[in-house]
Amino acid sequence: MVSEKIEIEEDGRVKVKYRFTFENLRDLEGNVFEPGKIAFFHRTSSTGKWQPHSEFLDGEDSGTETSRTSSAIMFVMDCSDSLGDDFPELQRVVNSLIDRLVPEGSSGIDTPEILVDDSDAPVEYYNLQGIKVANPGPGIYIRRQGRNVSKILIQ
């Protein structure tokens, strides 16, 4: 499999896509797969269900190339023998692997810890309606200093 980054202009904006070309795929004995024997299934993130990719329907060059906006995991496997009733089990195993690699709710990007010293930031006071108060008198206020916010009682 060969991949390359391509840029496509769409609606006046540059959109980055990745082209994956499945060529010279071989089985364990070194035999080359025929292009018409390659199938591509994808799992939709919204439903978690597997379905055949519409660009890879039966045809002359079926399954030799696809362009995607992103792809984290791709599997290439020899299915020259019919999977028959084993296809749901294959889907379950691949789902399990994907869930282990990218847990649900994960974006795949770690949230960086940003350390900010707010100790010398100016203190601001707001009433409970969110209106800034220059010289607070007795009452309950929202106190903000940099990124730190708290409710305070002035007596």
For the chain, give the percent of residues with pLDDT over 70. 39
Question: What pLDDT shows up at residue 58?
Answer: 47
The rounded percent of the chain whose pLDDT value lies above 90 is 9
DSSP structure string for 137-153: -SEEEEEEETTEEEEEE
32-59 pLDDT tens trace: 766 666 666 766 666 677 766 655 544 4
pLDDT, tens digit (0-9, with 9 covering 90-100), for 127-149: 988 899 999 999 999 998 887 88
84-99: average pLDDT: 73
Q: Which residue has the higher pLDDT, 101 or 144?
A: 144
The domain segmentation of the chain, as residue ranges, is 2-101, 123-154
How far apart CA 95 and CA 91 sit, in angstroms, is 6
Residue 60 pLDDT class (50, 70, 90 cuts): very low
d(CA 81, CA 30): 16
Phi and psi dihedrals of 22, rounded to 5?
A: -95, 100
Of residues 149, 25, 7, 14, the one with CA closest to residue 79: 25
Give the per-residue pLDDT at 155. Answer: 87
Burial environment of residue 65 by CB neighbours within 10 A (0 to 12, 13 to 18, 19 or more): middle
